[in-house]
Amino acid sequence: MDVLILRHGEAGNRMTVVEEDSKRPLTPEGRAEMQKIVKSLRAVGLQVDRIYTSPLKRARETAEIAARILKIPTLEEWEELKPDGSKAALYRKLARFEQNSRVILVGHEPYLSSMMGEIIGTTDLRLSLKKGGLGKVRITSFSPRVSGELRWLLTPKIITRMS
């Protein structure tokens, strides 16, 4: 199964935003950048079946932008994608999908890079997903543990230059 891993766009600084962390929205610049990124992904033919997102506002807004531009009808919040979410529970959910499924998971760092490291079988490799960055892993097995391979890891700058 192909899993696209998208980090939310630029959000207000947690030190200066009055709202609690879970309610921090994307900044106007973050919204504009995410629209540009997702339009570039559409232009190069990215196809996915569903989007699952952390319920935190900045991730939800990022997922809504992606769903609208990519015309993906299924967008669902998963608690497992919160910064302190359970990766084991996330893998159990993903294991229910058909092997040919293509999904986008929208969330936060360092959770997302840690998840990619687990899937590819290393915690030593230092992966970093920039805001608006996108990774792709192909999960080949969920038993006895999740395993797969890193297909690519793209920065926002690379994504917008592809189209």
The mean pLDDT value of the chain amounts to 94
Whether 146 has a pLDDT exceeding 70, the answer reads yes
Whether 14 has a pLDDT exceeding 70, the answer reads no
pTM: 0.95
Q: What is the pLDDT of residue 123?
A: 72
For residue 38, with 0-12 CB atoms within 10 Å meaning exposed, 13-18 middle and 19 or more buried, which class applies? buried
Cα angle 4-8-11, degrees, rounded to a multiple of 5: 175
Confidence of residue 21 (pLDDT cuts 50, 70, 90): confident
Confidence of residue 158 (pLDDT cuts 50, 70, 90): very high
Q: What is the pLDDT of residue 16?
A: 60
Whether 18 has a pLDDT exceeding 60, the answer reads no
Whether 151 has a pLDDT exceeding 80, the answer reads yes
Q: What is the pLDDT of residue 91?
A: 98
Rounded distance between C-alpha atoms, residue 6 and residue 65, angstroms:
12
Q: What is the pLDDT of residue 127?
A: 85
Whether 31 has a pLDDT exceeding 80, the answer reads yes
Whether 142 has a pLDDT exceeding 80, the answer reads yes
Confidence of residue 12 (pLDDT cuts 50, 70, 90): confident
In this structure, are residues 66 and 51 in contact, taking their beta carbons and an 8 Å threshold?
A: yes
* Choice between 38 and 17, residue whose per-residue pLDDT is larger: 38
- Its CATH class, for the domain covering 2-162, is alpha beta
Q: What is the pLDDT of residue 20?
A: 80
